[in-house]
Amino acid sequence: MAMTANVMESDQQRAFEAGMDAIIAKPIVLEQMVTTLNEWIKPRQIVAAPATEEADGDFPQLAGVNRDTAMANTVANWELFCKLVRQFIEQDSANFGARYREAEQSEDSEAAIRYAHTIKGLAGNLGLESILIAASELERESRELPQRQAVISALIDTIENALAELAIEVAAKCRAEAPAPAITEPVVVESEAWQALRQRLRQQLQQSSFESSDTLESMLKQLPEGALRQQLRQVAEAVDHFDYDLALQRLK
């Protein structure tokens, strides 16, 4: 099975000739991805993408964001969307212009193209349309020879401005991340209640369940800063990227 942003008929034909059974197009549409996966794999139970209608009123509109795409790909979970967008702003696209130029000057001639492609894909998955459009154009311009540096510079400025505006909106509309709780009585990790919670999380990860995010949040709220909290943060990071296998490895 191929996951690719190259979805022209000729691209799909090459994928099938290479032995792929199906194609999942990027940016990912969660419902379509789940439907395609259910056609080709045999899960323990048929997984359906959760409906988003009930949470519709709890998902604010942000400038430059396709709300329908954002809701579909975060199962209408506003807190999850905020977490992923913060990660996109603070990590994936931080110092975007400098990182693009650094990649452009590297010995790897494809580095800048890959970076623009990565930002395009992440923005598309989160419904960040203004950034998606500019990053798509930047990727295309990066492939052109000779390169039009004035156009590339303008696109970098467009993306950086869009990121700055997005950061302001996120700061205004997303709830600030809570600090680690000041817990005077440590959690008894050997207790039946804690072990039951841990077992529930393990089962949810084995089933690639979206509910694992809520279970992790509940567990993190009970922990002070320390090694166990850091471990669960790493598990949560993998879940945020929908990498449930990695999350299971980190839980052990």
Question: Is residue 218 one of the residues assigned to a domain?
Answer: yes
Instruction: Give yes or no: residues 156 and 74 share one domain.
Output: yes
Instruction: Give yes or no: residues 40 and 65 share one domain.
Output: no
In angstroms, the CA 82 to CA 147 distance is: 36
pLDDT (0 to 100) of residue 8? 59
pLDDT per position in the chain (252 positions), as tens? 566 655 556 667 777 777 777 777 666 666 677 677 777 766 555 555 555 454 556 788 898 999 999 998 888 888 889 989 999 999 999 999 999 999 999 988 899 999 999 999 999 999 999 999 999 999 999 998 888 999 999 999 999 999 999 999 999 988 765 454 454 455 566 688 888 888 999 998 888 887 888 888 888 888 877 888 888 889 988 887 778 888 899 887
Question: Is residue 187 one of the residues assigned to a domain?
Answer: no
Instruction: Give yes or no: residues 62 and 168 share one domain.
Output: yes
Q: Are 116 and 97 in contact (CB under 8 A)?
A: no
pLDDT (0 to 100) of residue 179? 52
Task: Kindly report the number of other CB atoms within 10 A of residue 156's CB atom.
Answer: 19
Instruction: Give yes or no: residues 41 and 61 share one domain.
Output: no
Instruction: Give yes or no: residues 66 and 37 share one domain.
Output: no
Question: Is residue 180 one of the residues assigned to a domain?
Answer: no
In angstroms, the CA 143 to CA 110 distance is: 9
pLDDT (0 to 100) of residue 99? 94
pLDDT (0 to 100) of residue 48? 52
Instruction: Give yes or no: residues 60 and 169 share one domain.
Output: yes
Instruction: Give yes or no: residues 158 and 127 share one domain.
Output: yes
pLDDT (0 to 100) of residue 252? 79
Cis peptide bond upstream of 27, omega within 30: yes
Instruction: Give yes or no: residues 165 and 60 share one domain.
Output: yes
Q: How many domains does the chain have?
A: 3
Question: Is residue 76 one of the residues assigned to a domain?
Answer: yes
Question: Is residue 183 one of the residues assigned to a domain?
Answer: no
Q: Is 226 left (phi over 0), alpha (psi -120 to 50) or beta?
A: left
* 121, 139, 173 - which closes a domain: 173
Domain holding 95, by residue range, is 56-173
Instruction: Give yes or no: residues 45 and 61 share one domain.
Output: no
- 3's enclosing H/E stretch is strand 2-4
In angstroms, the CA 32 to CA 29 distance is: 5
Instruction: Give yes or no: residues 160 and 76 share one domain.
Output: yes
Instruction: Give yes or no: residues 61 and 28 share one domain.
Output: no
Question: Is residue 117 one of the residues assigned to a domain?
Answer: yes
Task: Kindly report the number of other CB atoms within 10 A of residue 180's CB atom.
Answer: 13
Instruction: Give yes or no: residues 67 and 167 share one domain.
Output: yes
pLDDT (0 to 100) of residue 211? 83
